[in-house]
Amino acid sequence: DAKTTQPTSMDCAEGRAANLPCNHSTISGNEYVYWYRQIHSQGPQYIIHGLKNNETNEMASLIITEDRKSSTLILPHATLRDTAVYYCIATDSNYQLIWGAGTKLIIKP
């Protein structure tokens, strides 16, 4: 079973910030949280990962709560091309990624 829970779907207006929440209350202290996205029928694309600190790169920001029980992926200025399924992922005891159903994010003009 996935260690993360995410909303099934979300909408966001083009040009606005998209905030995607994820709960991961059972991850251990040394487990990373990864975010990937998958545009329809393509391979998943890595977005960002974090352990304890907030992270930012050219695609997104990742805000992790101090207790590490949840995080939020922020796409600062969403475009139509950001429409995709977004996966918040933890790992199993063998360090393998555990994929859930993700959040279907729809960016609306």
- Tokens for 7? 């909303």
Q: Which of 78, 104, 73, 85 lies closest to 13 in space, CA to CA?
A: 78
Residues in touch with other proteins (CB under 8 A): 2, 30-32, 34, 41-46, 49, 91, 94-97, 99-102
- Percentages helix, strand, coil for the chain (3-state, rounded to 5) are 5, 50, 50
CB of 16 to other proteins, least distance (A): 28
CB of 49 to other proteins, least distance (A): 6
CB of 96 to other proteins, least distance (A): 6
Q: Which is nearer to other proteins, 49 or 68 (CB)?
A: 49
Q: Which is nearer to other proteins, 10 or 27 (CB)?
A: 27
Q: Which is nearer to other proteins, 18 or 90 (CB)?
A: 90
Q: What is the 3-state secondary structure (H, E, C) of 15-63?
A: CCCEEEEEECCCCCCCCCEEEEEECCCCCCEEEEEECCCCEECCCCEEE
CB of 10 to other proteins, least distance (A): 18
